[in-house]
Structure 1
Amino acid sequence: MLDSLTIGRRIRQLRTERGLTLDALGTAIGRAPSQVSVIENGKRELKLGELQRFATVFDISVDQLLSAEPPSRRAALEIALERAQRGPLFATLSLPPLPVRKSLSDEAIETILGLHRELERVHNERAATPEEARRANTSLRKAMRERHNYFADLEQTAAALHAAVGHTGGPLSQRVASDLASHLGFTLHYVGDLPGSTRSVTDLRNGRIYVPLGQSPDADPRSVVLQALSSHVLQLGEPHDYAEFLQQRVQTNYLAAALLIPEKGAVDILSAAKDARELSVEDLRDAFGVSYETAAHRFTNLATQHLGIPVHFLKVHESGTISKAYENDSVMFPTDALGAVEGQTVCRFWSARRVFDVEDRFSPYHQFTDKPAGTYWCTSRIQPSARGQFSVSVGTAFAHAKWFRGRDTPHRFHSGCPDESCCRRPPTALATRWSGHAYPSARLNSSLHAAMPTSGFTGVDSTEVFEFLERHAPAAP
């Protein structure tokens, strides 16, 4: 795209350097002086023929005229100020435009631009509300559903990395994860003072990746390293908004999972299991030595693409609220007015809730549920964490249950949600007995007071990170 502001400033500088007036330049290119002024102020895009005429007059090439580099530092400041005044934020301030004259010093322009950047920062921070997060998550989930949660380019990247370190299959050990880091030019450093707002910190200057020394029992130490390496491989920069932040998280998590569970080996196992009508998330977990949640996520990546089975995935807190969700099998998740699923309450009769009442936590729990959209089969497991217990569920429509181990389960329930009479409204007799005779004291969710991080939508404390890097940077030779 042509940058009319930069081109305009370059034309003005060339005209001045050659001692031409607006009248003289206008005559040379066959345009009125007022038209040349409009062009120099970047208020009109030029056609190719006009660019060629300007280039001929100045005795330069069209490529030189189209250079994206501002012709001078002053021009760069003026261009930045013009762009700021033409942006949507300035329009909301109801301020008159500031003419960019020679009498306006460079220092004054820099101060104005600094104030504008700070206003943008505050504006973006305030815009990163839970509503924005829900909208971004809804849009991202739709995009994932359209591609069946399968990213061919990331699968190819993972395969290339495996080949580079000679990993031919099976579980990816911590040694191979370290080999991957070395292959990509990094050394791993386990530290006890990692900033609390980070999972890892990558020092690009010195080729170091810092990961926490002590991790919670439910965390996979390989995942943190692989996610950090994935961000580097994918060349991800600082996200500009919440949607980009979520997209980056999906990409890094996907690539890390593809490294832990290689596509070819996983598809071979799943295809054989389907032929035997013995599909199971547990087999994927055990074959590659990963957590049940990672295996369940990976199953959703491959099931539709390679097995032709549409599926859904749920991670639900013991309180009944959805933490993560994905579907391409038309199951009806509970949603809010924005179409967001995360944070909504799952029906009490779904497998994701019923599993919390099962005493046997060693075996997977299977269940058929008659829902408004049809009958679905699900398999669920409990996963403890520092934030409480979660159920992780994978399910599919009744027609595809025949491929799964556990399809002979006797557990079957009916769910009428989102109809409130299903499980959200107490039975009439119970309500009549207790209505007006109870006053529960609600537990206030701390997130109500800090809906989004105060240091931006990523929540990373930059000062802490930079101080951390300064402490751990190797001494200069």
Structure 2
Amino acid sequence: MATPLQLSTLGHRIRHQRVSNGYTLDGLGELVGVAGSQLSLIENGKREPKLSLLQAIAAATGTDVTDLLSAEPPNHRAALELELERAQQSPVFKRLGVPAVRVSKTMTDETIEGVLALHRELQRREREAIATPEEARRANTELRLRMRESDNHLPDIERLAEKQLKSAGHTTGALTHRTVSIMASQLGFELIYAGDLPHSARSVTDLENGRIYLPPASIPGGHGLRSMALQAMAHRLLGHTPPTDYADFLQQRLEINYYAAACLMPESASVAFLSQAKKDRNLAVEDFRDAFGVTHEAAGMRLTNLLTRHLGIRLHFLRVDGSGAISRAYENDGLPLPMDVTGSVEGQVVCRHFAARSAFTEQNRTTEHYQYTDTPGGTFWCSSQTGSTADGDFSITVGVPFDDARWFRGRETQKRAVSTCPDEACCRRPASDLTARWEGKAWPSARVHMQMFSPLPRGNFPGVDDGEVYAFLDRHALT
């Protein structure tokens, strides 16, 4: 059975031959033995003709059946009409819920071309809304490099956080849930803890009713309720609008995370704490973490915002999963990190001799582990600690060049490793004796991650199911 588009093309070719020969619908219908109304249905792609009728039409118009059945539009006008029909059958257009444009004889080619231009732009925007993994890596890399140029420091957000904290009456110590609630109320929002949040959203803000919905307890991975509430507020304070592309989405995510960190670990208090620790030659991620009541990862990332700008210390930060793949990274100290051809480091596997991986083998994984590592980029000292989530093990590492290790607790460690990566002989190429023994005699079955083949979630807020969010808000708007 022919498709609707094939029937439309056939109908256009029959009409072209009929008009070229000067026949009306009724005139050609009389010649081929059908009513003009039946012929009209065929020309409009509404009915599929029998082969015998096609042969009769071909004979009456001086052409042949193969020409009528050609997939090519008979002229420019027909090509425009067919393209418009195809565009109006697309899922992208149908999702809009607007009626299709019906082409009439009096409609000009220019009008059809104008409507088609809108359809093409709609399709282009749809394609751009879907970020491929490569596009996402490029956007993430560009953002990381821009932040490195500014020492990972955003002074405007630092000042905004200090202002909001002062307005809420916060002075010293860990930021309490009560103070976060006061900060929300000053913006016209109430914090509500809901057990039925959409699975695709960490929080939902009801702009109409002034509510920020949060889960009833912290979610796995160290994302506390204070941080999530602050991030939701940050969208409003920073004047964010729906992101235009994936790069914009990543920029907004970075900014709200930065604002939350700047509230939980205020710049003035943090710099005073770190300056004293440096003076005492006792800088430590765990002390910084405990002083402000945040996660180890949050404290490590906050160091990247402050150490270079305020204490003149260049550093690197790594979050690495149990397989050694980088999930988050920052460096401005020259540590050689693995990267792909786009310059992206996320997803790349770090050297097995780095403490970020060797820490997984330690017996006591509740404390920081220290190590010096000789690399092609110099010698680096680092501190690593491991943790676990529902997704598996991970490690958090903060490190500095050898000369700056003198400011940190753990500098006396005798543990030392050598990494020659990216030289494959370092840890990626098997030892020569093992190669000689097993090459050609092994056939492992690879574990394939299906996300390798999938585009990133589409939409203004990638990965968020709008239908779920709106249904959630509708339920709670009535309470």
State the TM bucket, normalised to the shorter chain. 0.7 to 0.9
| CA deviation profile, 1:364-386 (whole Å, cap 9, x unmatched) | 00000000000000000002112
Q: Work out whether 1:203 is the aligned partner of 2:176.
A: no
Q: Work out whether 1:277 is the aligned partner of 2:281.
A: yes
Deviation at 1:437?
2.3
| CA deviation profile, 1:383-403 (whole Å, cap 9, x unmatched) | 211211110000010011100
Deviation at 1:110?
9.3
Deviation at 1:433?
1.2
8 Å contact from structure 2 (residues 197, 213) kept in 1:
yes
Aligned pairs (5 A) from 1:53-92:
none
1:174 to 174, 177, 185: 177
Name 1:334's counterpart in structure 2.
338
Deviation at 1:125?
3.4
| CA deviation profile, 1:281-304 (whole Å, cap 9, x unmatched) | 111100011000000011111101
Q: SS at 1:402's partner residue?
A: helix
Cα distance between partner residues in 2 of 1:213 and 1:449: 34
| CA deviation profile, 1:80-127 (whole Å, cap 9, x unmatched) | xxxxxxxxxxxxxxxxxxxxxx9779x97996576345313332134x
Deviation at 1:474?
3.8
Q: SS at 1:300's partner residue?
A: helix
Q: Work out whether 1:315 is the aligned partner of 2:328.
A: no
Name 2:136's counterpart in structure 1.
133
Give the letter for the 1:170 counterpart.
G
Name 1:405's counterpart in structure 2.
409
Q: SS at 1:379's partner residue?
A: strand
Cα distance between partner residues in 2 of 1:212 and 1:235: 24
Name 1:463's counterpart in structure 2.
467
Q: SS at 2:381's partner residue?
A: strand
Cα distance between partner residues in 2 of 1:317 and 1:174: 30
8 Å contact from structure 1 (residues 169, 262) kept in 2:
no
8 Å contact from structure 2 (residues 129, 246) kept in 1:
no
Cα distance between partner residues in 2 of 1:446 and 1:269: 45
| CA deviation profile, 1:442-463 (whole Å, cap 9, x unmatched) | 2121212423115567122222
Q: TM-score, normalised by structure 1?
A: 0.75
Aligned pairs (5 A) from 1:16-415:
112=116, 115-126=119-130, 128-217=131-220, 218-415=222-419
Cα distance between partner residues in 2 of 1:204 and 1:223: 19
Give the letter for the 1:137 counterpart.
N
Cα distance between partner residues in 1 of 2:338 and 2:318: 12
Cα distance between partner residues in 2 of 1:321 and 1:329: 20
2:425 to 377, 396, 421: 421
Cα distance between partner residues in 2 of 1:275 and 1:305: 17
| CA deviation profile, 1:180-222 (whole Å, cap 9, x unmatched) | 1111110111112211221111111111111122433543121
Cα distance between partner residues in 2 of 1:372 and 1:280: 26
Cα distance between partner residues in 2 of 1:109 and 1:195: 42
* CA spacing shift, 1:190–1:457, aligned 2, 3 Å: closer
8 Å contact from structure 1 (residues 329, 396) kept in 2:
yes
Give the letter for the 1:160 counterpart.
K
Matched positions, count: 373
Give the letter for the 2:160 counterpart.
T
Cα distance between partner residues in 1 of 2:152 and 2:108: 54
Cα distance between partner residues in 1 of 2:264 and 2:129: 35
Deviation at 1:136?
0.8
8 Å contact from structure 1 (residues 192, 212) kept in 2:
yes
Deviating more after overlay: 232-241 vs 289-298: 232-241
Cα distance between partner residues in 2 of 1:458 and 1:468: 18
Q: TM-score, normalised by structure 2?
A: 0.75
Name 1:439's counterpart in structure 2.
443
Q: SS at 1:392's partner residue?
A: strand
Q: SS at 1:323's partner residue?
A: strand
8 Å contact from structure 2 (residues 245, 460) kept in 1:
no
Q: SS at 2:413's partner residue?
A: coil
Deviation at 1:330?
1.4
Give ranges in structure 1 of 5+ residues lacking alignment. 1-101
* CA spacing shift, 1:159–1:419, aligned 2, 3 Å: same
Q: SS at 2:212's partner residue?
A: strand
8 Å contact from structure 1 (residues 355, 380) kept in 2:
yes
Name 1:88's counterpart in structure 2.
none
CA RMSD of aligned residues (A): 2.1
Give ranges in structure 2 of 5+ residues lacking alignment. 1-105
| CA deviation profile, 1:43-66 (whole Å, cap 9, x unmatched) | xxxxxxxxxxxxxxxxxxxxxxxx
* CA spacing shift, 1:451–1:103, aligned 2, 3 Å: closer
